[in-house]
Amino acid sequence: MGEKTKHVDFLIVGGGIAGTTLALELQKLGASVTIYDNQFNRSSSRVAAGLISAMVPRNVRKTWLSDQIFPHVFNYYKSFEDQWNAHFIDEIPTLQIHKNLRQVHNWTIRAGEPGFEKYLNINAPQLPECMKPLNFDCIEVLLTGRLDVTKFIDLAKVHIPQKENSFYFEGQFYYNELIGDSGDWIYEEIKYSKVVFADGVNIHLNPFFNYLPFNPSGGDILKVKIEGIPQSHILKKKEWLLPIGNNEWLAGSTYHSDNYSTQEKESDSDWLIQELESWLGKPIQLIEHKRGVRPTVAERRPYLGEHPIQQNLFVYNGLGSKGSSLVSVLSEQFAQHLINQAPLNSEVNIEQYHPLFFAKN
């Protein structure tokens, strides 16, 4: 490398949705970045369906930060579509199908409450006639959609190194080869002012931040083909179907608690297809089955912040199944914190876990 490449502002370990969007936000502020990514094709970002929704069906409530995220999230990704002359974000409404009269009541009540009018349409279109007749109706959930996460990350991988003194390296990152040097950090002969670990489930291998509590969870995503169902909406009961065109859908989801396995099991895909067919009333053809692992946090709040002892080492992790939405707000905020010392949201700041670190050390 040339002499001018001996120092880079930020090293980001992990090229998933968190590390990628943080790198892009740091570059907007004029910083140089290097991403190291192991290109694990079963990472949560690579397997994720990219489902975007502001509503949590359980208790019929809005997701955390929903009023900040929606509809901002769609404009956030569309800005990159414009820059890169590409397409990877779609806003698609959801038909939330009720299972019983209590759900009908709960969703109807919520739709009439202040603050929910932009998310719920009580005058939703009826279920398609071609679907099996159901006992109960549905409601239309607005501001939902899908990010093609893999396409977005692959395009970012091309554009990030185009900025001066920025790089994207594919391969294994070795934590024990990161060397502190008077406040800076050196890795493979490049000096960095700050290091951010956005290493997803690999955080359990991270000697700096493996004290943070995680409950990894596996999940299966299917690509399926279903003939004769309109693809105008995402369809959701407990399981969901996300249209991707040409009568093909992504289907989920399953949940395997405290499990790092990425090995698919035929019994999982069989179970999911059976559940979907029971309320869809159409035969489902399996095209592809993938299983990934999410870096799930029990408190359902991501981890952001600086190491309690090691200066200029940071973490950005634990986004879970809402990562595609959350990064549209959190990555910009974290970039401002890293460069301009802007305060972090107290709910995500890992300072609250510092006593846990000292207790373990």
Average per-residue pLDDT for the chain: 90
Q: Which of 78-82, 258-262, 322-326 has the highest mean pLDDT?
A: 78-82
Angle between helices 149-159 and 72-84 in degrees, nearest 10: 50
Q: Which residues pair with 317 in a beta bridge?
A: 303
Sign of CA dihedral 323, 52, 64, 21: positive
Q: Which of 175, 158, 153 shows the shortest CA–CA distance to 41?
A: 153
Asked if 18 and 198 touch (Cβ cutoff 8 Å), the reply is: yes
For 44, 46, 104, 157, 250, the CA distances from 290, given in Å and listed in that order, are 11, 10, 33, 23, 11
Tokens 């502002």 found at:
9
Q: What is the mean pLDDT of residues 346-354?
A: 94
Give every CB contact of residue 345 below 8 A, 6+ residues apart in sequence: 304, 330, 333
The answer to whether residue 40 scores a pLDDT higher than 70 is no
Q: What single-letter amino acid sits at 133?
A: P
* Homologous superfamily of domain range 91-143+215-294: D-Amino Acid Oxidase, subunit A, domain 2 (3.30.9.10)
Identical fold, 3-47+150-213+299-360 and 91-143+215-294: no
Cβ contact 234:139 at 8 Å: no
Q: Where are the alpha helices (DSSP H) in 65-148?
A: 66-69, 72-84, 101-111
pLDDT in tens, 166-206: 999 999 999 999 999 988 999 999 999 999 999 998 898 99
Q: Whose CA is closest to 150, among 255, 244, 223, 43?
A: 43
Residue 258 has pLDDT above 90, yes or no: no
Rg, C-alpha atoms of the chain: 21
Mean pLDDT of the region 208-217: 88
Q: What is the Cα–Cα distance from 101 to 122, expressed in whole angstroms?
A: 15
What does the alpha-carbon distance between residue 110 and residue 113 come to, in Å, rounded to a whole number?
Answer: 5
Q: Give the tokens for residue 181.
A: 């040097």
pLDDT of residue 191: 96
* Cβ-contact 297, 216 below 8 angstroms: no
State what percent of residues in the chain have pLDDT above 90.
69
Q: Is the pLDDT of residue 284 over 90?
A: yes
Min mean pLDDT across 2-16, 98-112, 142-156 is at: 2-16
Give pLDDT tens digits for 110-156.
999 999 999 999 887 766 666 655 556 889 999 999 999 999 999 99
Give the mean pLDDT of 50-59: 91
Q: What pLDDT is attached to residue 1?
A: 43
Across residues 8-32, what is the average pLDDT?
97
Residue with tokens 């004769």: 228
Identify the H or E element spanning 331.
Answer: helix 323-340
Give the mean pLDDT of 95-112: 90
Cα 145 from Cα 147, distance rounded (Å): 7
In DSSP terms, which residues pair with 240 in a beta bridge? 236, 252
Instruction: Give pLDDT tens digits for 306-315.
Output: 999 999 999 9
Residue 108 burial (CB count, 10 A): 15
Indicate whether 5 pLDDT > 60. Answer: no
**Tokens found for residue 222:** 């299917």
Mean pLDDT, range 67-79, rounded to an integer: 97
Residue 2's pLDDT is 44
- 56 beta partners: 61
Q: Rounded distance, CA 13 to CA 11, Å?
A: 6
* Cβ-Cβ contacts under 8 Å for 328 (sequence gap 6 or more): 21, 69, 72, 73, 76, 77
| Least confident window among 84-98, 101-115, 166-180 | 101-115
Residue 357 has what pLDDT?
A: 87
pLDDT at 262 over 80: no
> Which H helix or E strand runs over 149?
helix 149-159
Integer Cα distance of 117 and 110 in angstroms: 9
The residue extents of the domains of the chain are 3-47+150-213+299-360, 91-143+215-294
Per-residue pLDDT, 153: 96
Domain 3-47+150-213+299-360 sits in which CATH superfamily? FAD/NAD(P)-binding domain (3.50.50.60)
Determine the pLDDT at residue 138.
86
As to burial, measured by CB atoms within 10 angstroms (0-12 exposed, 13-18 middle, 19+ buried), residue 303 is: buried
The answer to which of 51-65, 254-268, 338-352 has the lowest mean pLDDT is: 254-268
The pLDDT value recorded for residue 101 is: 86
- Residue 81's pLDDT is 98
